[in-house]
Structure 1
């Protein structure tokens, strides 16, 4: 079996690891610290992307193709950094979704138990009312 592959119940799985931006040959535009503030960094990259789009629109209006090429070169870096940050959030999103689903299932099961208990109580009351003369 290849490195990074493993077998679960006869089905071959891969140990998918998100490669860093450096491994992909892309300059990282946000801090390299392990505890990144995703909300702040996504917001700043989004603002930077909006700024690039506005600058690109200005260049297109002026029809200055030489300036447009310079602006266009930085565009992919911002997109790739945004995409990488979003992909880094996938495990957190999956964990939060799983927690939410489990909480809903727990609530439904507790409600079902309460419904059964109230049904049992009403059946007992009904049977007692029938047994009394």
Structure 2
């Protein structure tokens, strides 16, 4: 038993919660029937949006919980929010190493993220070298340098995350442009096939069938004229 608990606590993904056993066909049919009856009492057409109260213990897991009142919830120890916003560095108790969004364009200058990222990358390399020197000389004084490197990494990552909305827009534009180009290519292929078919039909219209040329306006000899002449001469001899 102890070995099993150790394996569960050390596994990457925990075992499924025990309430999955409540999702049986009988329980699902029971809660759907209860929702339908509640909807009829409340005069609601869509029974799926009806919330039931005082459910039996075996049916409680079949009803989704309400949205969190504060907009936050935890999954596997991580905190999530209904409104996905980038938290501020000050809220995370992290020292800011680049200007605030409110103060960036106050002087009319453009905020160059690439330049700030390059400066942070160079500062990280320099502080890492200084950290290695402190480990060799005075390891007890290295904690402040480790804190500085941590703040630099978090600022670096935070600045990249500020660029995520622009990256999402550019990715969407690229996807829509690719779809438009693909649609235009398919349309051009259909037009080429149509033109090729028309040329083939025009070529078939000029082919010869027997001794006649389809579409030729020159007068052709009547194929029954010889037979009529033969019958006419035969009748003349008889008479």
Q: What does residue range 49-68 of structure 1 map to in structure 2 within 5 Å?
A: 49-60=124-135, 62-68=136-142
Name the SS for the 1:16 alignment partner: coil
Q: CA deviation at 1:45?
A: 1.0
Worse-superposed segment, 30-39 or 79-88: 30-39
Partner of 1:8: none
Aligned partner of 2:206 in structure 1 is: 132
SS at match of 1:122: helix
What is the alpha-carbon distance in structure 1 between the residues aligned to residue 204 and residue 196 of structure 2? 12
Q: Does 1:83 align with 2:157?
A: yes
1:31 to 93, 99, 112: 99
Structure 2 residue matching 1:24: 3-state secondary structure: coil
Say if 2:86 is the partner of 1:18: yes
Q: Which residue of 1 aligns with 2:45?
A: none
Give the aligned partner of residue 115 of structure 1. Answer: 189
Given the alignment, which residue of 47, 51, 54 partners 2:122? 47
Length-normalised TM-score, structure 2 = 0.49
Q: CA deviation at 1:74?
A: 1.0
Distance in 2 (CA, whole Å) between partners of 1:34 and 1:107 is: 38
Please list the CA deviations of residues 57-115 of structure 1 after superposition, one character each: whole Å capped at 9, or x if unmatched.
Answer: 2223x242133223112111111111111111111111111111111111111111111
- Larger Cα Rg: Structure 1 or Structure 2? 2
Greater share of residues in helix: 1
Q: Residue 18 of structure 1: SS of its match in structure 2?
A: coil
Q: Give the root-mean-square deviation of aligned CA atoms.
A: 1.9
Q: How far off is 1:3 after superposition? A: 5.2
Shift of 1:4: 5.1
Whether contact under 8 Å (1:4, 1:16) holds in the other structure is no
Distance 2:194 2:133 in 1: 73
In the aligned structure 2, how far is the partner of 1:116 from the partner of 1:52? 62
SS in 2 for 1:120: helix
